[in-house]
Amino acid sequence: MVRVRYAPSPTGTLHIGGARTALFNYLFARHMGGKFVLRVEDTDQSRKIPGSEEAMMRGLKSVGALWDEGPDTDGAPYGPYRVSERLHRHRQAADMLLAEGHAYRCFCTPEELEEERRGRQAQGLPPRYSGRCRSLSAEEVKIRADQRSVVRLKVPLEGETVVHDIIRGEVRFENRIFDDFVIMKPDYTPVYNFAVAIDDHDMAITHVIRGEEHLPNTPKQLFVMDALGFAVPQFAHLPMILAPDRSKLSKRHGATSVEEYRDQGIILPALANYLLLLGWSSPDGQELLTLEEAVAQFSLKRVQHTAAIYDQKKLEWMSHQYMTRLSVSEIAEMARPFINYALKPQPEFEAVVDVSRERAFTLVQLAQQMRFFYEAPESYEAKGVAKHFGEGAAQRLELLAEHLAALPEWNHDSLVGAYDALSESLGVKRAALIHPTRLALTGRTVGPGLFEIVELLGRELVVERLRTAQTRIQQGNVPTFA
């Protein structure tokens, strides 16, 4: 059975690169009928941030990357799923490598290592460990047993190591560029490359799908696997995600954590869809896909080799597509946390969502554009006031208020008829009534269709707002905003 894993460090929140990696693992596992494992790589306890693990999990759930096994699953067969809870296994493996001569204790002090590094640097050589403790006899090691030491793996000094990558093909590394790297720290806890190789084996991981930045780590993990006699999983290193100018992606380009995208009001299924297209494409070029559709189509062979380019405007466009395509009830439920004003009984919430969502790209925008349905405008758009609240506007608003207050029926067709009749009697175009009405009701010059607004607001609110605007114009006291 195919088994893949996503293994984040609990040192922050889930950012776009990690979310993309987790999503690709999830899709591959589902497509292959396999299992997706969440493992927390908390080897460095000093960098662990309280609450980070929970934030990571929330972020993964937000984009639909749901794991089959992880720290929160009961009775899972390959646990525990936190590296800090697997230390006995890592120590057991280190003991075995020491006993078999594949690893050795290194007693070099930080000062000695720094002196060695500077010496090599002065000679124009790369800063790699010389291996001075590699040949210590068992007797010497025993004598120095009480001294501070680390454990280093014996790395092949010649030849090359080949990484067979599903996405990149064969990637070759000359062994001479590696030194005998540390696998156990002075406190006898594992470093990342040692722990991950053991945990991948113990959890029966068949495919390691991760970001390109981990490719240089792969030979070290292969050295560990070879020394321990482990089978090698298949590797697939995903392309980097770069900014539009091909620089390293950062917050200044709009990229942020999944939870911050949520707080900005990006539709989360749209975020998942967008992540899917950062380095992968559908066979038929389809851009809008549900996770179920993506599972059916997903293949690592369609992951591109070159860097994916992050585009904030494309993400917002996709959020808008989902805003208009999901059901009204789904969008209404998503929008509620962003409403910071009182939702009165009238007008009906889902109906307001439906007429407002066409122009919204995020849930924050949607909530802002819906506000006037529940709160009368305290000020009006300045350019609209200059254009539509001029000479004759107060009189037309007064006549509209009277006309609408006496209207027998309150529906779309009767409202259109009322505006047509009044514009004809006044000898003006209907626009001369529509634009001042929109401004009086909403405070803005653009928004949903006017007659939809009027119908939803209801007779009482419409008449009240028309008369408020009329009074302000007559008194020469129209508050505005830019």
- Give the separation between CA 305 and CA 409, rounded to whole angstroms: 63
Q: How many angstroms separate the Cα of 264 from the Cα of each of 98, 169, 337, 478?
A: 52, 39, 11, 32
Contact 470, 397 (CB under 8 A): yes
Would you say 82 and 76 are in contact if contact means Cβ atoms under 8 Å apart?
Answer: no
Are the beta carbons of 57 and 18 closer than 8 angstroms? no
* Phi/psi at 369 (5° precision): -75, -20
- Evaluate whether 422 touches 403 at the Cβ level (below 8 Å): yes
The single residue of 248, 251, 301, 383 carrying the catalytic annotation is 251
Residue with tokens 């037309």: 396
Q: CA nearest 242: which of 25, 16, 60, 26?
A: 16
Catalytic annotation present for 313: no
Q: Which residues are catalytic?
A: 251
